[in-house]
Amino acid sequence: MTCQGVQAQILGVGSYVPEKVLSNKDLEQMVDTNDEWITSRTGIKERRIAAENQASSDLGAEAGKIAVKNAGISPEDIDLIIVATSTPDMYFPSTACLIQDKLGCTNAAAFDLAAGCTGFIYAMVAAEQFIKSGTARYALVIGAEVLSRIVNWEDRSTCVLFGDGAGAVVLGAGPEGEGIIASHLAAEGSGSQLLTLPCSGSRISSNEEAAANKAYISMQGREVFKFAVRVMEEGTKKVLEKAGLSKEDVNLVIPHQANIRIIEHYAKKMKIPKEKIVANVDKYGNTSAASIPLALDEALQQGRIKPGYDILMIGFGAGLTWGAAVVRWA
């Protein structure tokens, strides 16, 4: 039963990135590329790389710990953990269960969600339903990725793009008119072949095939670019319509950090001023499901988010999927 007048509100935010920095200059020593080529085409200058003993649950737990602390609650108060990831520690147990144990969230149900780079938006909207129905009082939503493990470091078209990191939010009940005031989720499975990790499930069972360069990210970059700019515009219009807002009403836009050219194209097409866009792709690269919460936490720490601000979050990714949410900051 839905609790009348209850909205899901962001109570705490946290993020974590590994210590190791891999710069474009470093990549010049690894593959046939250069800093100018990478920067001009992607806007990326460096990315973080997980240590050998770090997996997605380690990064996610660090981000989650900070988010719980910033929410002013204890780990035992968390009723639900959803982890959005394309790079789980393993197929099972879920990364969410591993994080539950690491954080001591002994009262929480836990599961993973796979929606590519849109994963955090999907997970946040899923958790919202638990909050609004009264099934959960507090939900911890995490985007965590160790993409460096599925990147072919000999493929210059993809290895320059991705990085590792995690971001998290704690959702709890708030009054109507605050928190997540509108959302829009969508998928286009007919384009699934544009962004894949071929040897990662039951479709391919041969170890020989796994060794034949099918254990890495495969992306048709030009087509993904076209998809991204199309659905970011579409998603923005639909979620703002649901929220009853115009683009001028939005105080801050936090897009998925895949490529600065996509972000700039989107901002120009939608006529959104540069100062309203959060972009940190230069420092972290594409961290998939972690990118939006990472950027959210950075914007918060920089003082760019104030009470009453309407914040638009929008992402796109493998599936193909896309999604958007408008959050009114409390």
The residue from 117, 159, 184, 280 that is catalytic is 117
Structure tokens at 162: 């991705």
- For 81, phi then psi, to 5°, come to -125, 125
Give the whole-angstrom CA distance, residue 142 versus residue 13.
10
Angle of helix 56-71 versus helix 95-103 axis, rounded to 10: 50
- Clarify whether 256 is annotated catalytic: yes
* 170 within 8 A of 139, measured Cβ to Cβ: yes
300 cis-preceded (ω within 30 degrees of 0): no
Annotated active-site residue in 24, 70, 259, 286: 286
Contact 216, 151 (CB under 8 A): yes
185-196 burial, b if ≥16 CB within 10 A, otherwise e? bbbeeebeebbb
Residue 322 phi/psi, 5-degree rounding, is -155, 160
| Residue 280 designated active-site | no
Distance CA 327, CA 225 (A): 26
* 93 CB-contact burial (10 Å; exposed 0-12 / middle 13-18 / buried 19+): middle
Residue of 105, 256, 259, 280 with catalytic role: 256
Q: What whole-number distance in Å separates Cα of residue 293 and Cα of residue 110? A: 19
Q: What's the DSSP call for residue 291?
A: H
Q: How far apart are CA 243 and CA 183, in angstroms?
A: 8
Catalytic residue IDs: 117, 256, 286
